[in-house]
Amino acid sequence: MATQSVSRKFLTMNDLEKNYNPKRTEDKIYEMWEKSGVFEPKIESSKKPFTIVIPPPNVTGSLHMGHALNNTIQDILIRRSRMKGVPTLWVPGTDHAGIATQNVVEKELAKLGKSRQDLGREKFAREVEKWVQKYGDIIIGQLKKLGCSCDWSRQRYTMDSDYVEAVKAAFLHYQEKGWIYQGERVINWCIRCQTALSDIEVEHRQVDGKLWYIRYQIQKSNLKNQNENVKLKNYITVATTRPETMLGDAAVAVNPDDKRYESIIGQTVIIPIVNRQIPIIADQSVDPKFGTGAVKVTPAHDPSDFEIGERHKLASIKVIDETGKITQIKPQGFDFTGQKVLEAREKIIAELESQDLLEKIQDYTHQVPHCYRCGKKIEQLLSKQWFVKMKKLAEPAIRAVEKGEIKFVPERWEKVYLDWMKNLRDWCISRQIWFGHKIPIDGIDDVLDTWFSSALWPLAVLGWPKKTDDLAYFYPTTVLSTARDILYLWVARMIFSGLEFTGQKPFEIVYIHPTIFNIEGKRMAKSLGTGVDPLELIDKYGADATRFGLAYINTGVQDIRFDEKAIIAGRKFANKIWNIARFTILQMQNDIVKFKIELKTDDDKKITQSLNHLIASVNNDLDNFRFGQAAHSLYDFIWHDFADGYLEASKKEKNPEILLYVMVTTLKLLHPFMPYVSEEIWQKLYEQKLVAEKLLISAKWPEAG
RNA sequence: GGGCGCUUAGCUUAGUGGUUAGAGCGACUGCUUUACAUGCAGUAGGUCGGGGGUUCAAAUCCCUCAGCGCCCACCA
């Protein structure tokens, strides 16, 4: 509470607008904060810092509602921590997002009828650079509009020069450990993007397909030992969803315990059309209950077939190339070379039918892999790529979470993380796209998976591999707030990277925020016309309204059906607060203010008691990431207890000190949620010498007494 | 095939064992009450998805069924 001041220049009604006006407030206030230097923490070695690194938005486009929610959450945590007097750092930045950004630039070029190949690498790189510059700036501008109190002096980009060094250092480190290797195996290949993808960059979508039952002739000379079940048959039937891959079959596999086929294991069958001889083999991985219990094995085009192939030393015959066309496999009398997969499939089916080798066709709905960036079907094919061995990296990452050193909020995500981490395959890190970090090996012109660089974010932004003061003081960071869809792609990889390179976890708490859907429960997407632009909301209702509305509906649920009504309620609330302040300020001028808290009436006692409860519950809620609950308590107290109750009553029985005390305290509690209106009011109070601290953003946070 | 989440008033939802289940928006009825009509005072509207159980007491805990959504998985 401020000390008594004798010389106050009283404001009149006209000095305070009747309604809160965000547009006349926000930019002015933000500039004031920025100039004051409060966003940039000072290192105080005696105090434990509070650090957040922003999940760097992709420079593919502007921010969406998920970003608005996540950055509101982070700013709430940051502002509260700062007000508590803790050295508080929020590192901002952007991600080059290799494949995603390359794709959006390619889409732009396509509008002009051009491809990246038309431009060539150099010109294309310049186009990408222009895009990155433009959208990088847009994103930073949006974060500022939202009111994010990031330390802009520490702003980073995943391809700035220091970051390139960090990526190199990480790669070399893995190499020295012997964890980087080049291998030829079946990987996910996007025909449109022309690159390999890791397993988690593939989306499985349900597709209505067919199951074709095809007869493979058993070699006549081997038919002597037939048993009861196959006595009358001279063929074995396999079921497949991809008949065209039979061009590359290397075996027919059955389960070793499958009595039906016991007697013919080891015999030879002839692939129809291809006329090549392949063995019938027994492999544990075959499910006797599916289809006929016999499966054609195509090691070059299916990861599990590849493994069967390795176990049985089968040849891998690549029949589909990187453009999604049939290779120069020329069975006698046929030539499918250069034909698209579906085209070849049709011809093969027709030929099988004419040879009476197609037993039946079933409708079959199954999961088919698609590219997570361009949405096109993935081909699984044999390819030489670079991998990181995961076993040694996963172990400490599992332990850190199991021992509770890293906690997930909500807790249930811990299990999701661990399940994935315990069943990791090696990480395919090479990409054949043009935009990204070059693999630091001479003569290799591939780039790295964009997530290889994102995985280093918490350490790289603080200076690693250099031993900087920032790294020593602000690492490990405190909270990582993010969306659930990048739990594996990003969060898991930051955990093992952080532990490997520093021996310390990258963050203490992973907060997984709700996903925002539209009111029908559908994904918000610009392309579907279901997106809501947070900037438009800020323009219409103000940043505070947008932030408060988002915080208010974030009650810890998994999904949010976004309803603009919440933001409208936020706007009204901002206005309500403004008017409470207006009333209070005018009240202060009419009465002598002693700045001494004296509880005279029952109303005084009641309101200060409720306020104390409010402080306790807001603190408790925020300690536990219960943003919605905290917002609800603030709303209910301020509107109903304070305005409808105490303020009305105070018109009859005056106690301006209490009025001011409650006002000032609620402004502090509200500031992380609604920084602009609260600071704007604070400035009026400061001018009136009704508060002592110059800025609310750095005023002392209330604790329950 | 595994796992997770959700189902409360017309809409979006709060509420994790305890008096007549709250709010915002919408609807309706009054109010130019010396801050706010972005307001104030009220009214109507809910068998808390169905069924079963535990308990003195269940929207809340357990089981089960149904619907919606998400994630993982080498049934080709």
Q: Which helix (H) or strand (E) element contains residue A204? A: strand A202-218
Q: Which residue is nearest to nucleotide B35 (CA to C1')?
A: A583
CA–CA dist A398, A232 (Å, integer):
55
Predicted confidence (pLDDT) per residue in A608-630, tens digit:
999 999 999 999 999 999 999 99
**Interatomic separation, CA of residue A394 and C1' of nucleotide B56, rounded (Å):** 52
pLDDT at A14: 67
* The pLDDT of residue A223 is above 60: no
pLDDT at A521: 81
pLDDT at A591: 61
Predicted confidence (pLDDT) per residue in A443-491, tens digit:
999 999 999 999 999 999 999 999 999 999 999 999 999 999 999 999 9
Q: What is the dihedral of CA A364, A369, A372, A376, to 10 degrees?
A: -80
Q: What is the mean pLDDT of residues A423-449?
A: 94
Average of per-residue pLDDT values in chain A: 92
Nucleotides, chain B, CB distance < 7 Å: 3-6, 11-15, 23-25, 34-41, 68-76
**Is the alpha carbon torsion for A657, A658, A663, A664 positive or negative?**
positive
* The pLDDT of residue A128 is above 80: yes
CA–CA dist A96, A78 (Å, integer):
25
**Interatomic separation, CA of residue A325 and C1' of nucleotide B20, rounded (Å):** 72
Query: What number of CA atoms fall less than 13 Å from residue A66's CA on the CB side?
Result: 25
Strands (E) across A453-556 are located at 477-483, 507-513, 515-517
pTM beyond 0.80: the answer is yes
Predicted confidence (pLDDT) per residue in A573-593, tens digit:
999 999 999 999 888 866 666
Q: A384 — phi, psi (to 5°)? A: -90, 115
* C1'-nearest nucleotide to the CA of A211: B76
Strand partners, A157: A94
Cβ neighbours for A145, distance < 8 A, ≥ 6 positions apart: A26, A535, A538, A543
**Interatomic separation, CA of residue A345 and C1' of nucleotide B46, rounded (Å):** 58
**Interatomic separation, CA of residue A617 and C1' of nucleotide B10, rounded (Å):** 33
* C1'-nearest nucleotide to the CA of A514: B5
**Interatomic separation, CA of residue A545 and C1' of nucleotide B15, rounded (Å):** 24
**Interatomic separation, CA of residue A382 and C1' of nucleotide B30, rounded (Å):** 77
Contact A574, A556 (CB under 8 A): no
pLDDT at A519: 83
Provide the residue type at A58 as one letter.
N
CA–CA dist A308, A629 (Å, integer):
54
Q: Which residue is nearest to nucleotide B68 (CA to C1')?
A: A521
* C1'-nearest nucleotide to the CA of A307: B74
| A15 — pLDDT class (breaks 50, 70, 90) | confident
Q: What is the dihedral of CA A208, A515, A195, A203, to 10 degrees?
A: -20
CA–CA dist A493, A451 (Å, integer):
8
CA–CA dist A604, A28 (Å, integer):
36
Residue with tokens 């008691």: A609
Contact A190, A102 (CB under 8 A): no
* C1'-nearest nucleotide to the CA of A584: B35
| A637 — pLDDT class (breaks 50, 70, 90) | very high
Question: Quick one: what percent of chain A has pLDDT higher than 90?
Answer: 80
pLDDT at A5: 44
Q: What is the mean pLDDT of residues A360-370?
A: 90
Provide the residue type at A680 as one letter.
E
User: Can you count the helices (H) and strands (E) in chain A?
Assistant: 21, 22
* Helix, strand, or coil (residue A28): helix
CA–CA dist A602, A705 (Å, integer):
19
Give a three-class secondary structure readout of A589-652: HHCCCCCCCCCCCHHHHHHHHHHHHHHHHHHHHHHCCCHHHHHHHHHHHHHHHHHHHHHHHHCC
* C1'-nearest nucleotide to the CA of A202: B72
**Interatomic separation, CA of residue A566 and C1' of nucleotide B26, rounded (Å):** 14
* C1'-nearest nucleotide to the CA of A636: B23
pLDDT at A590: 62
Q: Which residue is nearest to nucleotide B39 (CA to C1')?
A: A576
Predicted confidence (pLDDT) per residue in A679-705, tens digit:
999 999 998 888 999 999 999 999 987
* C1'-nearest nucleotide to the CA of A519: B12
**Interatomic separation, CA of residue A650 and C1' of nucleotide B23, rounded (Å):** 26
Cβ neighbours for A452, distance < 8 A, ≥ 6 positions apart: A167, A170, A171, A429, A437, A493
| A293 — pLDDT class (breaks 50, 70, 90) | very high
**Interatomic separation, CA of residue A303 and C1' of nucleotide B68, rounded (Å):** 34
Q: Which helix (H) or strand (E) element contains residue A15? A: none
Instruction: Classify strands A447-448 and A378-388 as parallel, antiparallel or unpaired.
Output: unpaired
**Interatomic separation, CA of residue A350 and C1' of nucleotide B30, rounded (Å):** 80
The DSSP result for A645-687, as a single string, is IIIHHHTTS--HHHHHHHHHHHHHHHTTTSHHHHHHHHHHHHH
What DSSP character marks residue A442? T
**Interatomic separation, CA of residue A620 and C1' of nucleotide B31, rounded (Å):** 40
Predicted confidence (pLDDT) per residue in A498-519, tens digit:
999 999 999 999 999 999 998 8
**Interatomic separation, CA of residue A559 and C1' of nucleotide B67, rounded (Å):** 17
Q: Which residue is nearest to nucleotide B74 (CA to C1')?
A: A304
Q: Which helix (H) or strand (E) element contains residue A335? A: none
- End-to-end Cα spacing for chain A: 15
Q: Which residue is nearest to nucleotide B22 (CA to C1')?
A: A636
Residue with tokens 């602009």: A676
pLDDT at A230: 47
pLDDT at A224: 53
* C1'-nearest nucleotide to the CA of A425: B74
Structural tokens at position A46: 């005696």
pLDDT at A532: 84
Q: Which residue is nearest to nucleotide B34 (CA to C1')?
A: A651
Strand partners, A252: A280, A296
pLDDT at A466: 97
* C1'-nearest nucleotide to the CA of A200: B72
Structural tokens at position A456: 């280093």
Q: A699 — phi, psi (to 5°)? A: -75, 165
**Interatomic separation, CA of residue A644 and C1' of nucleotide B43, rounded (Å):** 20
Predicted confidence (pLDDT) per residue in A639-648, tens digit:
999 999 999 9
Rg of chain A taking only CA atoms, in angstroms? 32
pLDDT at A177: 96
Strand partners, A480: A510
Predicted confidence (pLDDT) per residue in A131-161, tens digit:
999 999 999 999 999 999 999 999 999 999 9
pLDDT at A1: 41
**Interatomic separation, CA of residue A411 and C1' of nucleotide B4, rounded (Å):** 12
* C1'-nearest nucleotide to the CA of A563: B12
* C1'-nearest nucleotide to the CA of A487: B71
Q: Which of A29-43, A173-187, A397-411, A600-614 has the lowest mean pLDDT?
A: A600-614
pLDDT at A526: 67
Residue with tokens 């030539």: A335
